[in-house]
Structure 1
């Protein structure tokens, strides 16, 4: 009997080890499987690596790009990524506020979009069809977007892959950019296992998701990126109806994921988003009639799009100094509003020389004119924000939202977490920032912004710790305690040192702002 018991014990122990090994192997193999199925993740978005990209473009095309950046023309170029060259791929400028702001300055440091199969159908970079190269405009730390995606990814929010990339153009230094995976069919397949649903990039009338009837022509800002010829818009109409009524939300929306998204954007004081007057910089993806929200464009996170106190219970309140919110304490509203206005003046004063605040950060209509319907306080829609108002009006969902804010304050916006990620990132990119030929800020300013000192108002660590304290105080029934205007680095908007050297005989060309063309054009060298 003793031998039988020992045999059974050994057998059960062996089975336990097999099960444990299977579970561990399963986790690892899933990560390995994703890397194998989408090899661009290892080749371009490996953690802790600064990539090298050289863009070869003709003198004529570069001069045309610099002279007409707002046309967003596609040019045929050769791109070498980490030593591997892809020929005859497409390159254009990209951006919204960033593009117009840089175009109206003395800088040529544009963000770029690379399209690998625009001229050669089927061409790709290890499975990647397109690539965004963001210029870190308005971000003296070079880290806002990178860290924002990192935190949201760890919270389970679907985010694009990112990596730092050192850019040269025709072999000449051009600067440190952030490479960002586009939200397209490849991203959808990788993230959701499916790309057949409707993908929207809202920007304009309808982006607020306010229901205006069943006629899709009433929502020109709900820009459909997939199924353009087949979708009837019924799914997103059902979403807006549910947001209006507050009923059946789970059937049309991944409510838990959206609450995580809202909590993250509130904590990041990211107002160049659905929360703010612009009401844009997000995607909606539908699967079987149910939508998920995908975040986008975070160079203005960490309070970069305006200063004030962030009320977690009224996160779309753009005065950001009114306080009270859900608690109804408005006694000091006038004084707080005045303080917010003064803070805004300070921020304007701190814009780097030669640069202007993006037009739609503050949109005052001329005297005697009314704001066009759908524009609300900015470019994206009305003052209604049902994605926020409807969800937070329900006690159960409000409690979930509060739990995610508490998670951010206790896990991510701690001095330990932020100091580590800021220090590690700064160490990785500092050599590239120091030699950045087109930088919007000085290297000394970067060193201040990348400080891990939680008491330094230039540092992202200071912002995070201060915001965490404010969140926790509000969760406990108190008022906001952190005015983002005191965050010095966030107040700086952009800037530009124009490159001192020409590229292979290309002349620097002065540019002026203009209207973006409705249709993109292409230019192929003879």
Structure 2
């Protein structure tokens, strides 16, 4: 790669015909001490304002970047580097930046100026796509950092540095040009009464390079928990290569299975108790006592929502995408959504995999009996009770013991079916989904057609709207 002030040429991102993550919108507001204001087309906008396409500029040292890429290509380590970040004209020095995602980075190749190995180990079995990577498309190159999935952390090296109270932002991958599907799905998730992540669309440029349209999503953490839940608690993130199996009472055995994102450090006791119950309870006890461990109504609604938006990569998808939020007062877990860039048929066309999750090695082929992607990946309630938390079964050879047992229980399965009916009425039949889609598409048409054509925005919007019928 060339020097920090050089211009990177964007290989125009071409995504599959399927839709994808969208753009909630954002901007600035109260600035952290030490932040510098400059002019910006989205200046004076509030972060996560859905009526504005925002501006983010990253500037970092090329040698540090090449070293980071080389480290990932060598052993898939995601090292942090220092970057300057400008958000809607407000600049922050010494922020942290690292790669974010798993399958979204498959097929990543080193920059042309780097001596690193040519591609990631994951790319040996599959090719990534441009515009954020993933399976089923073209390779992605470190020559185009504006296309990579990123985690930006403003307070990584400067304590207290934040943009309007937010410290972490995820630059998402997608296999559509407008990325409307994920933004619409995230907003609908909130309309359904479930915890969601805010999002915004942005013009992103790196080291003076070409601007591209990307979706940015808040990264769940302490602030996110305070905004979405009452009382204190702990947030656990399921790792892409993990599962919901019970591995005994030694917390060290869960190091690569769940990551604790907030709350008291190194407290896996509530998680282990939950996993032990869902794996080892008999069917009768599971049915009678699950409500003592899990917000059952929220989980039924969560599963129904994933079905409604045709997301094939949720808690029992190939990326194992989910969070568990433990509420200390009630001692109950809540399953929380993560990664909706395959919502509304986002798997179509190029067949790209998710930006935030990953498929374990060898998990690329759907097993016999896996749901047909053309029917929205409809879950079939299985028969039987407990078992291992990592059995084969859903798309990509994954299943989840909690989902399997929940839908095998007559009472819980009925709650799931009712939630499907209720959500379809409240989100689709009511016109709520169409209103959200039209609003977000209109913002892109008015403010971002220099990045994505109006025809593309219209076409991708129309494809999403067919799901609402």
TM-score, normalised by the number of residues in structure 2:
0.67
For 1:312-363, what per-residue CA distance to the aligned partner results, in whole angstroms no more than 9, with x for missing partners?
Answer: xxxx9623379894599xxxxxxxxxxxxxxxxxxxxxxxxxxxxxxxxxxx
Task: Provide, for residues 483-514 of structure 1, a one-character-per-residue CA deviation record: whole Å limited to 9, x for no partner.
Answer: xxxxxxxxxxxxxxxxxxxxxxxxxxxxxxxx
**Given that residues 374 and 381 in structure 1 are in contact (C-alpha distance below 8 angstroms), is that contact kept between their aligned partners in structure 2?**
no
Aligned partners of 2:436, 2:263: CA distance in 1, in Å?
A: 39
Counterpart residue number, 1:268: 309
Counterparts of 2:93 and 2:378, CA distance in 1: 55
Return closer, same or farther for 1:323/1:253 CA change in 2, 3 Å cut-off.
closer
Q: How far apart, in 1, do the equivalents of 2:157 and 2:302 lie?
A: 36
Question: 1:205 touches 1:381 (CA, 8 Å); kept in 2?
Answer: no
Deviations 1:158-200 (A, max 9, x none): 11111111112234433111121111112112222445x3321
Q: CA RMSD in A?
A: 3.7
Partner of 2:204: 167
Supply the distance in 2 between the matched residues of 1:184 and 1:419 (Cα, whole angstroms).
Answer: 30
Q: Deviations over 1:219-261 (max 9, x none)?
A: 4412333457542424432354146431311111111111111
Q: How many angstroms apart in 1 are the aligned matches of 2:324 and 2:292?
A: 15
CA distance in structure 2 between the partners assigned to 1:132 and 1:56 by the alignment: 17
- Give the alignment partner of residue 223 of structure 1, picking from 241, 259, 271: 259
Residue among 454, 458, 461 paired with 1:447:
458
Shift of 1:304: 2.7
Q: 1:205 to 1:67 in 2, by over 3 A?
A: closer
Q: 2:106 aligns with which of 100, 105, 110?
A: 100
Structure whose residues are more often helix by fraction: 1
Change beyond 3 A, Cα 1:213–1:77: closer
Unaligned segments of structure 2, at least 5 residues: 1-28, 33-43, 110-127, 129-138, 352-367
Decide whether aligned partners of structure 1 residues 232 and 418 sit closer, same or farther in structure 2, where only a CA change above 3 A counts. closer
Of 50, 54, 60, which aligns to 2:53? Answer: 50
Relative to structure 1, the CA distance from residue 242 to residue 61 in structure 2 (aligned partners, 3 Å threshold; closer, same or farther) is: closer
Mapped contact 1:203–1:380 kept (Cα < 8 A): no
Alpha-carbon distance in structure 2 between the residues aligned to 1:324 and 1:450: 26
Gap runs ≥5 in structure 1: 1-34, 309-315, 329-371, 452-458, 466-526
Q: Say whether the 8 Å CA contact 1:204–1:380 is kept in structure 2.
A: no
Kindly name which structure, 1 or 2, has the bigger radius of gyration based on alpha carbons.
1
**Are the counterparts in 2 of residues 204 and 375 from structure 1 also a CA contact under 8 Å?**
no
Q: Is 1:297 paired with 2:339? A: yes
User: Which residue of the partner structure matches residue 223 of structure 2?
Assistant: 186
Q: Separation in 2 of the partners of 1:273 and 1:327?
A: 18
SS at match of 2:106: helix
Match of residue 110, structure 1, among 117, 129, 148 = 148
State the distance in 2 between where 1:265 and 1:170 align: 38
Distance 2:389 2:332 in 1: 28
User: How far 1:284 moved relative to its partner?
Assistant: 0.3
Decide which of 66, 71, 80 is 2:86's aligned counterpart: 80
How big is each residue's C-alpha offset from its partner over 1:298-318, in whole Å with a ceiling of 9 and x where there is no partner? Answer: 11122334799xxxxxxx962
Q: Contact 1:253 / 1:291 at 8 angstroms: preserved in 2?
A: yes
- TM-score with structure 1 length normalisation? 0.60
Corresponding residue number in structure 1 for 2:3: none
TM superposition shift of 1:153: 0.4
Deviation at 1:203, TM superposition (A): 2.2
Q: Is 1:89–1:116's contact at 8 Å kept on the other side of the alignment? A: yes
The question of 1:91 aligning with 2:107 is answered no
Equivalent runs, 1:220-259 vs 2, <5 Å: 220-226=256-262, 229-242=265-278, 244-245=281-282, 246=286, 247-259=288-300
Deviations 1:352-406 (A, max 9, x none): xxxxxxxxxxxxxxxxxxxx994735899864x3322332333333332222211
Q: Give the counterpart of 1:398 among 413, 427, 435.
A: 413
2-structure distance, mates of 1:255, 1:293? 9
CA offset digits 1:25-74 (Å, max 9, x no partner): xxxxxxxxxx99x9xx9731123222111222234445555666654332
Give the equivalent residue in structure 2 for 1:387.
Answer: 402
The answer to whether the Cα contact below 8 Å between 1:277 and 1:318 also exists between their aligned partners in 2 is: no
Question: Would you say the 8 A contact 2:234–2:262 is kept in 1?
Answer: yes
Report if the CA contact (8 A) 1:53-1:168 is conserved: yes
Contact 1:158/1:295 (<8 A) preserved: yes
Residue 444 of structure 2 is aligned to residue 429 of structure 1 = yes
SS at match of 1:424: helix
CA distance in 2, matches of 1:426, 1:286: 36
User: Which of 182, 187, 204 lines up with 1:150 in the alignment?
Assistant: 187
